[in-house]
Amino acid sequence: MAGSNFPLPSRQAGFTLIETLLAITLLSGVAIGLFYFFTNAMMHTSYNQGRTVAVNVARGVAVYFEKNADFSRLKEYMEDHQTPFLELTKDDCGNESLAALFFPGESSQLHTVCEAQFAPKINNVRYEASVYLVRYDKEAWDAFTSSSEFASLPAPLQARIRAETEKAAESNAGGYMTKLYTTVRWGERTNETAWVEGVITDETIR
């Protein structure tokens, strides 16, 4: 039989469409994985930076209150207003009688100094501080732990305060000591809140 005049086509070396699509799919999976990895790393770094600053702000506010608050005047204020605890935020900077308790000698710049403590702006991020002052006795502790202010606190801080309930209940320190908790929030998420604790004591017992 005579040979055909039509040569058979030979297979060219290269990728088929299916192989190309499979490679693209695999590369896309790797790229997405790397994207999520670096995104999470950046978010974690940002969170740690924010928390570090927030803790330092909280410590600064707590130290300021411990140093400048007059226990006798604070006790008198709480008795006059019949409240066993106080929550202070930047909104209270407009309350001159209250702000004057903690920022003595700043009458000409009271509002400015107050807001600098409660709402500092650092690295273009606004940090919002809240201060909770609780008389150190059973009545005050029970009132605070059943309040809406307490319910708004971060869960770890709530647990820390509850752990001290028995100690506060057995103490007669309310006449010379007020417990101080400072929280600082720097974002919208619940875990973007740092806190520290301290005390304001009667100078006469030091």
120-168 tens-digit pLDDT? 998 888 999 999 999 998 899 999 999 999 999 999 999 999 998 888 8
Reported confidence tier of residue 7, pLDDT bands at 50, 70, 90 = low
Whether 117 contacts 59, CB under 8 Å: no
Q: What DSSP designation does 175 have?
A: G
Residue ranges per domain, the chain?
Answer: 42-205
Q: Is the pLDDT of residue 203 over 80?
A: no
Could you tell me the pTM of the whole model? 0.77
Measured CA to CA, the distance from residue 130 to residue 89 in angstroms comes to 5
In 3D space, the residue among 145, 50, 129, 53 whose CA is nearest the CA of residue 90 turns out to be 129
Measured CA to CA, the distance from residue 129 to residue 199 in angstroms comes to 17
Mean pLDDT across the chain:
84
Beta bridge partners of 65: none
In the numeric block, which tokens belong to residue 100? 């004057």
How many other C-beta atoms can be found within 10 angstroms of the C-beta atom of residue 182? 25
